[in-house]
Each structure stands twice: as structure tokens, then as C-alpha cells.
Structure 1
Amino acid sequence: MTNFSQASEIKPCDFCEDPVLNFCRDCKNGLCKICTANHFLLKPSIVHDIVPFRYGTGSTRFSPQCACLSSEIPVHYCFDCLFPFCTACKHIHESHLSGCISENFHVLVQLLQEQNLELMNNIIPWSEASIDIINVKRTELSSRYEKLQVEINTQRDLLHKCLDDHFDGKLETLREMETQHLEKLSNEVEKYRKQKEFMIGILKRNKGILGSFRMLQRGKPHQIFKSLKVDLYPKFEELKMPSFVTDVTVENIRKKLSDFAGSLVQGSLLSSYLTPPPRKTFLSEKPMSVPKQITVFPIEFYGGDVACERGGTVWICGLGSRHIIQYDVKGGKTGNIISVTSQPSFLSLNSKGHLFYTEFRDESVKCVTHKIPETFAKNKGWQPRGIHCCLNDDVLVSEYSEELKHSRIVRYNSAGACLTILEYGTSQQKPLFENVRFLCENKNGDIGLTETDKVTVVVIRKNGRKRFQYSGHIRFSNFDDFEFAGISSDSRCNYVISDPKNRTLHVIDWQGKFLFYVMPGKLVSPMAVCVDDEDRAWVSEARGSIQVLTYMDNDTV
């Protein structure tokens, strides 16, 4: 650094030749006015402590000294820089509003008085009012939490009462069954007692007959056997004991209780679970006579997954690409590009517009807010694959384990906490899924997923019980076998499934009934499929293009 005389020269900035005004205590650099504004961008990872130059050089005592560190007492003041300067530095502040300190002393006094008035009339009262408001909230905080505790205790007492009534009813039913059982057994005992007395009488009569030699001598033994009763043995009525089913787990009990018990969310007094719309059935569902292709446009990479949002825009990720690009329905780029550190595999959007994607290699689920990806969830040993955001902003993720050789479905809430894991059946030994790729949830709350190894589409309820399984529709087609990839659900709760092998889309209803094919043989290896809010199907093709088409009449209800 060049040394300058304190008496004759002005200390220059460490980055340019302008006079120094400030000093960074972290970087140990003198800064001019322009370099001070740009210094924060030089090393954004460092917290820069920038102070006036005379303070940063070591002196913490205020002294009316010029920025050139001259021993001359400053006699001028710059109202733009808010800094005193000596006569030697007067040429630096020629274009600024400045003046002699002695001549403009009344102006400085006025500035200080205005600053004092601003502090007394505005800033200090505002701070006091803020303190009062915070104190009021502090005093009300305990009463509000006490109210919440009362509500929780009330809910607990109600649940205990419901459980007591439920099991008391079962015990009362069991006592009635016991009484009926004892009554039937008593009737059986009485019936066999009378039968025994009757058989004793027959035994005495038979002994009398055997002792009668006259009848045997008369040659009429058939009359003796005719008078015998051999069908006197009643059939015993076996009564079985009642059974009480106890194959329930703690997780199932908690799940059932959470359906009608309240939940606490930090920072909100509302429930964290939004009730989905009521179940609907659609009696008239008809395809368009000819599915209409709205547009087809190329993309920069081989199509990966597709995530639709309102307004006719879509986010697309590609195989081997580290960018997530937004397109509109006309096939043009909107200019929104999200760059990530690794390669995203599957995408989904929630109701708040937050973009979620899975990273296969990193074994994590990321959430993008304000174009900044952050880790949403991560489970060691489980590779996240398909992802779907539900109506209540829960996040469904299909995860695969290389060690266990099977998949599972994990449900997270909007904060990233794990709610449920669907992995094993009731036997806790056989896994429910083998290799799940894509998945979705319809308005009924049912989860549809595609099994790669089994070449089937499985639809399960929210509790993991299977609703139906779809393996393709051979009737009215020339297809012998199928290959299922992407799956999505529309506003009618139908499922739209891509079939790369047969170059078509399958449409089935929420009960598993096949409806129709969409453009069979005219799509080029369709992979991911996503249905937007206007029931338009966005299909990514393996050739590196996106097709947007409609397949249902608008008047279908």
C-alpha cells in the first residue's frame, strides 16, 4: 500500500484512487463512497463491519479530524457526506453542499434539533408503543395457552368418554352373549336328561322282551325289532365362543384418533390438516370423438417429469440436466429457470406455488422457495423417486431401498414432518410395493401409483388398503401387453396413465373401470403425464418434446 503524508496528502481507497471515507474492520480495507456500496458484494459470506475511517483505525474517541488524517483542524462541513474536512480537502467537496463550520453553525444546530424532534415525536413514541403492544401480548399469552390446555383436556375427556362408552357397550354385549350361551347349554342338559330317562325305560322293556321265550318260540322275532326305537340319539348342537379382534397397532389407533381429534401447529391455532372435498361419483363420462392436440413443442433435453400450475404454465426437468425450466401453453419459455446442484428426477407443485423435486443420488427431497432449493426431507438408505403434492399440501413420496429391494410410500406434512409410512401389509412381513415410480392422489384421497416390475397400476386408500389393481385393457384393442410409466388424476377423479410401449394413454375411473384410450399409436414413447386445472394433459415424450392435448368433452360432469 502506498504511504501518504498526513499533512499534505489524502489517504486513497484500497481499491481505487478516490479519498477514503470508511474502513472495514473485517477485511482491514479503506473504502471510498462508491467502494463502500460494492464492498458487501465482494465477499457475501463475510459479515462486513464498516465504520468511518477514523473509528476503524483504532481510535474509539471522537475527534473532529479530517478524513485525510491531517493534523489541521477541520473548519468546513459537507452536508452531503455529513463529515467535516480541512482546507486541503476543499477541492474534493466542491460539487457538494458544504460550508464553514463557524458560519453555518446555526444550520448544524438546526439539523440536530430536527433530529431530536424526530426522535422525540416519532421514533421513541413508536418504540414505546411497540413495547406496550408486546407487553400486552405477553400478558395475554399465558391466558391463551391456558385456554388451549382447557380445550385439549376437554378433547381428551371427550375421547376417554367415547372410548369408555364404546368398550362398555362391548362388555354389555359380551355379558348378553354369555347369558344366552348359558341358557342354551342348560336347555341341552335338560334335553339329554329327559333322553336318558327315556332310554332307561327302553332298556327295561328290552330286558323284558329278551326274557320272554314265548314270543321267540312263536317265531315272530320281527315284531320285537319293529318295536325298537333306534333313532333316539339327538344331534348335539355345538355352540362356538365369540371372538374379539385385536389385530390393531398403535399407529392405526393414532391414525383413527387423528381423524376426529385436534392437532397443534406452531404459530397457528388452526388445524394442520385440511379436509379434502367430499367423494364424488360421475355417471356420465364420455371421451371426445377425436382428442384435440393443442400444441407440441420441443424442449432442450429428454423429457423427465412435468408439474403443472394455474395459468397454463408448466415446470419441466430433464434427464441429466441441472435446470428446471418453465414453459407456457404456447410452447415458449417464460424466462423462469431454477438451477440446482444435482439432477432432479421428479417434480410436483403445492397450492402455494412451492416446487418440490426429488434427488436420486442425494437421497433427499428438496423444496424451492424464491428460486432457492432447500432440503425438505431425507431418509438414509431410501432413494426418493415419485413425488406428489396433495390438496391439503401434504407431500407423498415413493422411496426405494436397494438393500430391502422394495418401495414404500411416505406422507409428509407441509413442514417436512413424517405423518405415515405405507410399507408392509397387515402381516408386517410382506411389503406392499416392489418398485414404485410415479404416483398421484385424486380428490377422493385415493393414491394411484405405477409398479415398474409388476407392470400394473395400483390404487390404494389413504390407510394403505388396496382399492383396485389395473393391468391393462385388451378388449377392443390390438394390444397384447402393456408398460405403465406416468400417472395423474383429473377433476373427475379419473386416472390418466401413460403407456410408452403402445404409444397411448389409458383413462380409467376412480373405481378401476376402463374408459378409453387417448391417441393410441400416435404418441412417441409417452413418459410423465400431468393434468392441469383445465383438464389438459401435458405429456413428456422420450424424443425431447411436450404434447398438450384434451381428451374429455367440456360438458361432461
Structure 2
Amino acid sequence: MDPRTSAQDVMRCDLCETAVVQMHCDTCLVNLCKACVGEHFSADLSKPHKIVHFKDKKSTLIHPRCTSHDEEMCEMFCTQCDVPICTICLASDQHLGHKLARVLEIRDKKRDELVKKQTELKEKIYPNYQDIASDVQIRMSQLEKEYGDLSTAITKHGEDWHREIDKLVQKLKAEVDEMKNTQLQTLQKHLDEINKTISDIKDEINSVDSVLESTDISSLFSLPSTLDRYTNLPRKITVSIPTFTPKKLQADQLFSLKIGKTIPLKSDKHGYSLKTRQKSPEAGSSPPVKQLLDEPETVTTIDTGYDRLYNVACLSDEEIWTSGQDGTMKLYSINQGSQLKSITTKSGNDPTDIAVTKSGDLVYTDYNDRTVNIVKNEKIEEVIRLQNWEPSGVCSTSSGDLLVIMYSSDNIQTKVVHYSGSTEKQTIQFDDKGKPLYSSGYFNKYYITENRNLDICVSDYGAVVVVNQAGKLRFRYTGHTPAPKNQSFNPRGITTDSQSHILTADGNNECVHIIDQDGQFLRYIQCGQWSYPWGLCIDTNDNLFVVHYVNRQVKKIKYLQ
């Protein structure tokens, strides 16, 4: 039997390939018969061959070779240099004073660590991954079912719509049939009258023929003179056929019919915890979904003492900046309601608007001085000086830049300018058709903010104008009917929250409008009689701060769950 091709033969010596294996070299991992052991030793005298019985193979630990002395095996380990060393290295000054340990001791420690890691992999991590895979499979099955149910519901709703449309079509066709039948009846009656007249005319013709053929002269005198009544032809009935003008619907108009809507799937960017396998709260970057409260709650009221109060900006969840009609900007403690600091504008004019930058500095606009200024360490620095333009609203963007809305000195033009420091990066003034995005021609207070989706939101005269980051018009919100006091929409301060809601103060109706990021009205927040809300801001917990222009108060309102 050929030992090289037979699967049932016993193992043979790797050298002679004929004798049965009896020994094994743990150093070279070679199978040997007893007769070949000496030959194996003499073949390579540089190695310390470890010959054991075949049944004890791999029982001899193989020490690492020295990286500095190839022929030497290492039995010691330098913990400071983190390398195994041989006796030659040990005798040298290279590792003098270093902490040494036996290689086998280090091996045991590393082996224990590896066993622990393997145990964790076997007993904790691997089962966790199995559970997660099972959970994902279950979710996939649920997803198939739920999406199937969703498709079925949409199909059913579509069938309901088809039935309603069929009813409308049948009703319209029935109206058309009724009009047709009415007109046919009118024409049939008219036709019957004409046919009767035709019959009468035939009779008259026959009568005249008889008289003309008669030799009796008296019959000619006795024929009634009725021919004249047929000379007036019957009236002509003109039938007016109704027309049908189908209403053409584009794709976006079809969606506006509100056949229904699907709530977009929110991506749960989460991680799994090994112990609980629950969602890690810090793993996702999207804010948690918050619902509007049925009844907003006033948490705190701060009296400011201004003659007239205009603006508010959150420095933190504990402090707010305010500005009004006396040329100062005051910092208040929210919890204590006390004034902490007061800064007078550089020109002494009333600040038009205020904002807090990403780094916590106060920014204000001065339309009389035509400047945008920043307050650092209570010192005022002029950032922007305008020519022939007057700044109104200002806000700090998520990137730390400034957005300023301004109008021309002749009150003819209005635009938004994006600044990086004092450098103009972008101007937003016209729509795709070259028409002005913002109102002009009269003095107006414009306010501006940036939404979480980077839309730029402006409170304009009678409207909130929202453009995307590139400056393209997304929508105009012109108020909601019915308004609380049935007055015209008059937006002032504007802000946004973590849900990308847009909130704007409506002084005429003494309320705050809340709309979503696409301009759909959500609700009003009533501010009370004679409040005339003006400036707005939101803190990091989505608390709303509302300036009451008349009574010079700032109210902190909780409106989200």
C-alpha cells in the first residue's frame, strides 16, 4: 500500500518516509522514527532540538528567539523595554537596572489576559451579537409586515378616493345628462310644433290645388285667406352646449390634495450596550422628538424697568440679555430676576437688535450709526460699518458667522447679508425671477434667525420669509385664520427650537405663532391682553422667552413636553 496515497495507513517518518512515526521534534515540528533521530540532530546543530514521544508532541514550550542574537533563545523578559532577552543581552549593559521577569511568567500573564478576553468573547460579546442579529431579523420581519400594512392602508385609502371620485364623476355626468335631456325636450317640442305646421301647410296646398282645379268659381271666393300666417317662419332655437374644462394638476398639486401623509422614518442612530443592549442616549445626534403642550405654562416673569422693551437673547440657561429704549443692554439672572450687568451702546443710540454669538459674546445692531458691533469683555468693537444701508435684525449662525438683514437708506431695498467677521460672504435679495424677496418702501423692523436645517428665516412686513442656505425661496407664511384678535398678521421677533419649529411674535394679535420648518401652522401661544409681544429667544432646553413690549417684562414659557 502506497503510504503517500492511502488514507488508512499509519503516519510515517518525515525523513525516511517508510518507518512508523515514534518520535517528534517539538523544535522543528518534524515527525521521526527512532532510527532517524540521530540524522535529524546532525542535520542542523544550531538548534536545541527537543525530541519527545509522538504522543507528547507540542508539549515543549518554544521560547522566543532573541532579536539581537539570532541563535539564542530568550528565557527572560525586560518589562521596561517590553522585549524578551537572552543570556547574552542579560550579561550586557543594555538592560542594566531594568526590571526583569521570566519569559514564562510574562507568558502566563498574557495567557491569562487572553483567556479572559476569549471568555468575554465566548460568554458575553458573542451571545450579544447573536441576540442583536436575532433582534435585527425580528425587526426586519416586523418591518415587512408593517410596511405591508402601510401599503394596504394606502391602497384602501386610494380605493376610497377612487369611489369618491367616481361618485363626483357620476354626479357631473348626471348633471350633463339632465341638461341634455332638458334641451332635447325643448327641441322636441319645437320640432313637434314645426311638424304640425308643415302638416297644416300641406293641407293648405291641397286645398289650393283643389280650388285651382275646380270649375266652380264660387269656391275660389270662399277659400279663407290664411296663407299669410305661414310667411312668418318659426323662431330659431339656439342651443348652448356646456363646456368642460378639466383642471390640470401637477405632481406637487396632487400632493397638496392631502390624500394622506406618511410620517418619515427617523433613523435611530444608536449604539448597543453590551450589558443591557439598549439604545445609548449619547450615540445619536438628532434631538429627541418633543410634542407641543396642550397648555403652555409661564415659568418665570422678569421685570426689566425699560421705558419700552424690544429684544431678548439667551446667554445661557441661567442668563439673558435684553435691550430697549434707553440705549443700554442689560444682563439678567433668570432664576433670581435680578440685573447682573448693564452696557451702554457706543453711540448712545437704542440697539436695533441683539444676539449672542456661538462663543458667548453679545452682538448688537445700531441703525442710526449704521454699524454692527460686538461686546467682548465689556468692551465694544465695531465689526461692520455700512454705507447707504441701515442694519436691522442680526443673528449668529451655527458656524459662528453673522446674518444681518438691512434696508437701504431710501427705504427702497431690503437684503440679507452673510458675514464671516467683517467679510461679506453672501447676499440674499431676489428670488429666481428677479423679484425682491423682502418688502421695502417703508420703515419696518426686520428680524432674522437660522433654523436647525440651515434655513434663513426673516420676519418681514406681514409675512415670515424663509429661504434655504443658498438663498432660494422656500415659502412665505402670511398668518393663520382665524387670528386670536382678528387683526392683520404683524410679525416681530423670530426664533427656532430643537424641533426646527419657527416661532414669531405677532403684536397685533398678542400671540406667538408656531409653524413647522415647511411653513405649516401648528398653534398659537396666547400672551395676554396689552402684552404686545416683540422679541423672542429659545434656550437649550426649548424654553421660550417672550418680550412684552408694553409692560416691559420678559416671560419664560414652557410649551414643549
In which range does the TM-score fall when normalised by the shorter chain? 0.3 to 0.5
- The two structures have a TM-score, normalised by structure 1, of 0.46
Structure 2 length-normalised TM: 0.46
Higher Cα Rg, which structure: 2
